[in-house]
Amino acid sequence: MHLDDDGLELRTELIRLPVGNTIWQSEKRSDVRDGVELQKGIVEAVLDAILPTARANTIATHSPRIEVGECQDAYELYLRGKQANSRSRRIELLREVVRIDENCAVAWEAIAVNSVDWTVEGFAIAGDAARRALDLNDSLAEAWAVLAEIAEEKGRWGESEEYFLRALYVDPTNTHANMMYGEALMARGRVREALRYSLEAYRYEPADSSTNWHVALKAIYAGEGELAIKHALNYKDLHINPVYDGWGELAEGCLAAGDPDQAIAIYLEHTDVVPEWYSRCILARDDVALREGLPDILASVASSVASGELSPEADDAFSAIRCATWIEEIDIVFDLLTEENYPTEKTWFLFFLPDATVLRQDPRFRQRVVESGLLDYWRKWGWSDYCRPDGESFICD
C-alpha cells in the first residue's frame, strides 16, 4: 500500500505457500476516500481467486511463478480460463486472453496444454502455443511437458525425456508435468518410477480429481491393488465427469489386489459398456475350461476393428486385448495393439502390465522394441522394470 498526494495505491499479490506460486494479483489506484471500498473489492477478488482451488471438483489451478504486472490486463480472465469446466470453454477464454495481451506467456502455455487431444491437428496447435510460451518465458514447466508429449507421439523417446526433465527442472512441483512424465515413463516400462511421479503430483494437489485418477492408473500397472482402490475411490468422490466416476480403475484395482469376485461384480453393473464375456475372461485366467468359445469372440472383435466396423477406442476392443492376454491368444493382441489403432502411449501401456509376461516374451514385442528405438532409449535413460540387458541384446520377464 502506498499513500501520497495523488491518492491511494494498493498492490496485491496472492502467493501459494510453500512453493511460491502467484495465483492472483492486482494493482489499483483510487482517491483516498474510496480506500475502504477498494480494499473490500480486493478481498472479494482474492476470495474469488482462492475458493475455486479449495473446491475438490474443479480443475487444478497450480500456476507458474509470474512477476507482478505480467498479463495484468487479462490475468483474472486467465484464471477463469484455467478453471472453466469444459476444454472448449477453457480454450475460448484463453484465446481471448492472448488477444488482449499477446505476450501473456502463461496463457499461451495453458492453450498448449488444453489443445492436446491426440490428433495431428491438436498436436500442431499445442506445439505452436508451447513454443510461443517458451519464447516469452522459458521457465514454464507445462509448455516443456507439451513438447515432450509431442516428441513421444512421434517416437522420439530421448528428446521427449529431455523435455520432461527440463519441465521438472524449472518447476519440480508442477502437477501436470509430474503426471505427464509418469504417463510417459509407464509407456516406456519404467512403471515404478511412473507411480512415484504421480504420487508426487498427488502430494501437491491431493484434492484434485485428476491427480487421484493418475495415481490409481499407475498403481494398477505397478500391481499395487490397494493403492489403486484407495485413489479410485478418491476419484469417485472428487470427479467432475458426469458420466464416469472411475469404476473401471476401481475394478482393475480389485483385480490387482487379488479380488476377482469384486471386480466382476463391478463389471456386471456396467454391462452397457463392458461386454458380458469380459467377466468370464477374468475367471478363465485360471480355469482353462471356461476359455471355450472366447477365442472366436475375440477374433470377431479384431475383425470388426480391422474392417472399420468397430472403433479401436471402443470398450470391446480394450476388453479383447486384456482377455486375449489372459488366455494367451497373442496374435489377436498384436493385431489390435498397433499405432494405427492407438496413440504411442496407449499402444505401449498394455505391454507393461504385471500380467503381460506372455506379451513381453513374444518375438514380435522384441522386434517392436528394437524398431521403435525403445531399446536405444533404455540403454541411455534406464531400463524397463520388466526388461534388462543380456549382452548385446535384452531379455524380459
Q: Which of 66-75, 253-262, 384-393 has the lowest mean pLDDT?
A: 66-75
Q: Is there a domain that residue 200 lies in?
A: no
Alpha carbons 342 and 319: distance in angstroms, whole number: 14
**What is the band of 52 on the pLDDT scale with cuts at 50, 70, 90?**
very low
Reported as type and span, the H/E element at residue 389 is: strand 387-390
pLDDT in tens, 63-120: 555 655 678 888 889 888 888 888 899 999 999 999 999 999 999 999 999 999 988 8
Alpha carbons 157 and 176: distance in angstroms, whole number: 19
pLDDT in tens, 276-301: 999 999 999 999 999 999 999 999 99
Main-chain phi, psi angles of 240, to 5 degrees = -115, 0
Specify whether the CB–CB gap between 91 and 68 falls below 8 A. no
Q: Is there a domain that residue 396 lies in?
A: no
Burial zone of 12 (CB within 10 Å; 0-12 exposed, 13-18 middle, 19+ buried): middle
* HSE of 245, CA atoms in CB hemisphere, 13 A: 8
Among candidate residues 313, 342, 371, the one where a domain is terminated: 342
Q: Is there a domain that residue 243 lies in?
A: no
Total tally of structural domains belonging to the chain: 2
The answer for 221, left when phi > 0, alpha when psi is -120 to 50, beta otherwise, is alpha
Name the average pLDDT for the chain.
87
Q: Is there a domain that residue 318 lies in?
A: yes
Q: Enumerate residues 6+ apart whose C-beta is below 8 A from 5.
A: none
Name residue, grid cell 500397472.
221
Exposed e or buried b for every residue in 56-73, given b needs 16+ CB within 10 A?
bebbbbbbbbbeeebbee
Is the pLDDT at 186 greater than 90? The verdict is yes
Selected residue with higher pLDDT from 85 and 173: 173
Q: Is there a domain that residue 48 lies in?
A: yes
Q: Is there a domain that residue 28 lies in?
A: yes
Average pLDDT, stretch 351-374? Answer: 96
Is the pLDDT at 152 greater than 90? The verdict is yes
Q: Which of 81-85, 138-142, 184-188 has the lowest mean pLDDT?
A: 81-85
Q: What pLDDT score does 392 carry?
A: 87
Is the pLDDT at 19 greater than 90? The verdict is no
Domain with 286, as residue range(s), is 271-342
Average pLDDT, stretch 44-64? Answer: 46
Among candidate residues 317, 342, 367, the one where a domain is terminated: 342
Q: Is there a domain that residue 10 lies in?
A: yes
Q: What pLDDT score does 108 carry?
A: 96
The answer for 189, left when phi > 0, alpha when psi is -120 to 50, beta otherwise, is left
Q: Is there a domain that residue 337 lies in?
A: yes
Rg (CA), the chain: 24
Reported as type and span, the H/E element at residue 210 is: helix 209-221
